[in-house]
Amino acid sequence: MFKIMTSMMIALTISSTLMMACTMISKKSNMDREKMSPFECGFDPMSSSRIPFSLQFFLIAILFLIFDIEIVIILPMIMTMKTSNLMTWSMTSSIFIMVLIAGLYYEWKNGMLEWAK
């Protein structure tokens, strides 16, 4: 019990010390228009320096992340097929695949997979 309390106190001390050091180091400077504006060879910028964010590319990126997570879940299912009950394994796999197909159908019907509109 003493070791646990000592470890917790050490962790609390280190984390609070780091938080205090970070707040002291990261003093915010005065932000004015000149410092916050983009610099283009001493002239005012011709156009906006901010590029508009494309929501379509964000949705495609999210779909790829979901696809990667699906692969991470499906691959171990193949390995556990030998050691588990075949009925339970097939029901679990079928339900998982049906949820994925329903999600794909939903994305397709809402037009999330179209590149140009």
Strand partners, 82: none
- Specify the amino acid at residue 91: M
Nearest to 89 by CA among 80, 98, 97, 102: 80
In order along its 117 residues, the chain shows pLDDT tens digits of 888 899 999 999 999 999 998 888 876 655 666 666 666 666 665 666 666 777 777 878 888 888 888 888 888 888 888 888 889 888 988 998 898 899 889 888 887 777 766
Quote the pTM value: 0.48
